Homo-oligomer: A and B are copies of this chain.
Amino acid sequence: MKEKRITLAYGSGGRLTHQLIKDIFVKHLDNEILSQMNDSAVFALNGHLAFTTDSYVVSPIFFPGGDIGKLAVNGTVNDLAMVGAEPLYISLSIIIEEGLLFEELERIVLSIKEAAEESGVRVVTGDTKVVENGKADKIFINTSGIGIVPDGIDIRGDKAKPEEVIIINGTVGDHGIAILSARKDLSFSADIKSDTAPLNRLVKKMIEAVPEISVLRDPTRGGLATTLNEIAQASNVGIEVEESEIPIRDSVKNACELLGIDPLYIANEGKLVAVVSKDKADLLLKVMRSSPYGEKAKIIGRITREHPGKVVLITRLGAKRLLDMLSGDPLPRIC
């Protein structure tokens, strides 16, 4: 069993596919909706639904702080949370490169199970494909998610208004640097773990305390700088952030200097940016800091009337420089 590998026949839709589903997926992820085993899962739901999808192609598939399975659950849970939704159901579609060890697949599925339990979502439908050796890279995972947006909540990227402040829930750059540290061809040793985490319970507390939050967004691919640019453009406002206020671990800072990359452009997987009115900011910070994934929450900037659509960084020396969206791709396959 230890050395057993996935072959093309496991993707045929026949006997071996059924066996794989039973022995690995249903074994670990079962619930009364998944076990319907029809072409679609069916469940009752009413209200404003949130629906999102992401494919995960991270390399390597195991890294400090997590793996592709944990990432695939948390990433989609977070995309639902960023519109204020309570995540309920996810789908799980896996493309396997022939030759993957059963042991590796099972480890990933156990990680999916654990992440689903932490965030409270259930895997209710799935799909497995297998492609030839050399036609994928070990495993790619798609998760799509469905959540319910509570009544009265309307959080969108285009609602940032002048005078509002920008809050982040913790340090930036951890995920990207953890992935780089795990890549064999990079020899720096960084004691840095991915920040991959489900943010839905944090967001739930935030919107219960301050339902008027204007914008929530998770700075994943493209990093904090790109996310702030998206908000500035969608809301047609200017943004100013204080370099000295953006929390970055020393180890991440050092690794970034070594690699010549800017931590503001590195993917995070357990971070969110919130835009909220000045007078609600203290309450929101207090609530965030009482939650496990928000302990280091702080204000890093503000929305301005000036330079709509653009983000300006106020450097430690007090100079202002334009913080553009990521161009090029310093870190492929980070998520």
What residues make up the interface of A, taking CB atoms closer than 8 Å to B? Answer: 7-18, 36-57, 59, 78-80, 82-83, 85, 89, 91-95, 124-127, 129-132, 134-137, 140, 142, 144-147, 149, 156-157, 217-218, 220-222, 226, 234, 265, 267, 324-333
Q: Is the CB of B94 within 8 A of A55?
A: yes
Q: List B contacts of A140 (CB < 8 A).
A: 55, 95, 136, 140
Complexed CA–CA distance, A147 and B45 (Å): 11
Q: Nearest residue in B to A7 (C-beta to C-beta)?
A: B329
State the copy count for this chain.
2
Given known A144-B144, A332-B8, contact A326–B156 (CB-CB < 8 A): no
Q: Is the CB of B49 within 8 A of A44?
A: yes
Q: Nearest residue in B to A138 (C-beta to C-beta)?
A: B135
Q: Nearest residue in B to A234 (C-beta to C-beta)?
A: B37
16 A–B pairs (Cβ distance < 8 Å), ordered by A: A12-B221, A12-B328, A12-B329, A13-B222, A14-B326, A38-B157, A40-B147, A45-B47, A51-B91, A54-B93, A55-B93, A55-B95, A55-B142, A95-B140, A132-B333, A136-B136
The contact of A57 among B80, B95, B331, by CB within 8 Å, is B95
Q: Is the CB of B46 within 8 A of A47?
A: yes
Q: List B contacts of A331 (CB < 8 A).
A: 12
Complexed CA–CA distance, A331 and B45 (Å): 39
Complexed CA–CA distance, A326 and B13 (Å): 8
Apart from A12-B332, A40-B79, what 7 extra A-B contacts exist at CB < 8 Å? A15-B324, A39-B80, A42-B49, A42-B50, A45-B47, A57-B129, A91-B144
Q: Is the CB of A52 within 8 A of B79?
A: no
Q: List B contacts of A147 (CB < 8 A).
A: 40
Q: List B contacts of A8 (CB < 8 A).
A: 329, 332
Complexed CA–CA distance, A56 and B127 (Å): 10
The contact of A218 among B39, B42, B78, B92, by CB within 8 Å, is B39
Q: List B contacts of A53 (CB < 8 A).
A: 91-93, 125-127, 142, 144
Complexed CA–CA distance, A25 and B327 (Å): 20
Q: Is the CB of B51 within 8 A of A89?
A: yes
Complexed CA–CA distance, A59 and B44 (Å): 37
Q: Is the CB of A48 within 8 A of B42?
A: yes
What's the nearest-Cβ distance from chain B to residue A3, in Å?
20
Q: List B contacts of A59 (CB < 8 A).
A: 135
The contact of A333 among B52, B93, B124, B131, by CB within 8 Å, is B131
